[in-house]
Structure 1
Amino acid sequence: MRHAKSSRDDPSLPDRERPLDDRGHQDAPAMGKRLGKRGVKPELIVSSPALRALTTAQLIAAEIGYPREAIFVDERLYASSPDGLLAVICALDDTLEHVMLFGHNPEFTDLAHRLSNEIVDMPTCAVAEFRFDAKAWADVREITPAKVKLDAPKK
């Protein structure tokens, strides 16, 4: 999931500390409700340490019943690359079946497009969902997703 819309009102803030703007604070819970209605229940949520991504993860978690304190913050999701994100995914514990990552563009769109040509853009607060017929997360690097879905607040 790409973080919700962030504010650029205070140019003195370091990039990591940029908060969500009003639209972001509306879109994230709305997307969380939409995910909850679809029965999305991740076993693990991993977020970039940037405030806008972590806040998005917390707002989504609240709507889908995931414990806020269980969100894992991973430095590798901030200022990464598609290869770096894929390395995080491939290193996930194989006992986990459903995982959500929260981060940034352009990396998230680039990775989503690499996994499926169907996705060419991830607007703010978009969720790209991939289902793989795989026994290990490391297999994701080599196979095509069995199912791809993109959802965004304006859909």
Structure 2
Amino acid sequence: MKTLYLVRHAKSSWKHDVIDHQRPLKGRGKRDGELVSIHLKGQIKPPQLIVTSDAVRALTTAQYFKKALGVADADFKTNHELYDFSGNQVMRIIKNLNDSLDIVMVVGHNHAFTSIANMLGNKYIDNLPTCGFVMIQFDEKSWSSISTGKTIKTVFPRDLK
């Protein structure tokens, strides 16, 4: 069985004069990152690997989950190809995960993550909100074989406020 955790980056700030890739989280994004990650601690098994977009807002969001879920530095990777809004590169990364891994968290961007959550899960999500979490399980032994799985859990910041 394979379990995929999808996390859309938390709310970013538009106050800074930086390129999109360098946009940081705003205050609400930082609070939501901490809120959702701490809420999930003890409710889910820690991922064996976290792979995150290297965009500042996604990387910072992923670090909240890394800390709350106790993921080791060696099991925390950035991948520039996750700076993807269509989902094609994200799916390629998921399908090429090492089959020795059973639980993986991927942190990235919309519109890709809403599309992927709907394509891979069996519960329709209109829009995966910022810092939204989706857990999907697949009755497969290989990541390359996954198709439609079962949406087990969703946690959105608004559910916790």
Fold shared per TM-score above 0.5: yes
How much identity, in percent, do the aligned residues show? 36
Q: Partner amino acid for 1:146?
A: K
Deviation per CA, 1:68-108: give whole Å up to 9, x if none.
46410011100342222111101000000000000001111
Task: Find the residue that maps to 1:37 and give its secondary structure.
Answer: coil
Equivalent position of 2:9 in the other structure? 3
Equivalent position of 2:150 in the other structure? 146
- Structure 2 CA distance for aligned equivalents of residues 51 and 59 of structure 1: 13
Range that drifts further, 131-140 or 72-81: 72-81
- Structure 1 CA distance for aligned equivalents of residues 111 and 21 of structure 2: 16
Give the structure with the larger strand fraction: 2
Equivalent position of 1:62 in the other structure? 67
- Structure 1 CA distance for aligned equivalents of residues 45 and 31 of structure 2: 19
The answer to whether the aligner puts 1:35 opposite 2:40 as a matched pair is: yes
Gaps of 5+ in 2: 1-6
Q: 5 Å matches for 1:70-85?
A: 70-85=75-90
Gaps of 5+ in 1: none
Q: Aligned-pair distance for 1:149?
A: 2.4
The answer to whether the aligner puts 1:22 opposite 2:27 as a matched pair is: yes
Contact preservation (8 Å) 2:134, 2:151 = no
Range that drifts further, 79-88 or 128-137: 79-88
- Cα RMSD between the aligned structures? 1.4
Equivalent position of 2:101 in the other structure? 96
Equivalent position of 1:137 in the other structure? 143
- Structure 2 CA distance for aligned equivalents of residues 132 and 56 of structure 1: 25
Q: Which runs of 4+ in 1 moved over 6 A?
A: none
Task: Find the residue that maps to 2:50 and give its secondary structure.
Answer: strand
Contact preservation (8 Å) 2:48, 2:75 = no
Contact preservation (8 Å) 1:58, 1:68 = no
Q: Partner amino acid for 2:35?
A: A
Q: TM-score, normalised by structure 1?
A: 0.92
Q: Aligned-pair distance for 1:120?
A: 2.2
- Structure 1 CA distance for aligned equivalents of residues 78 and 85 of structure 2: 14
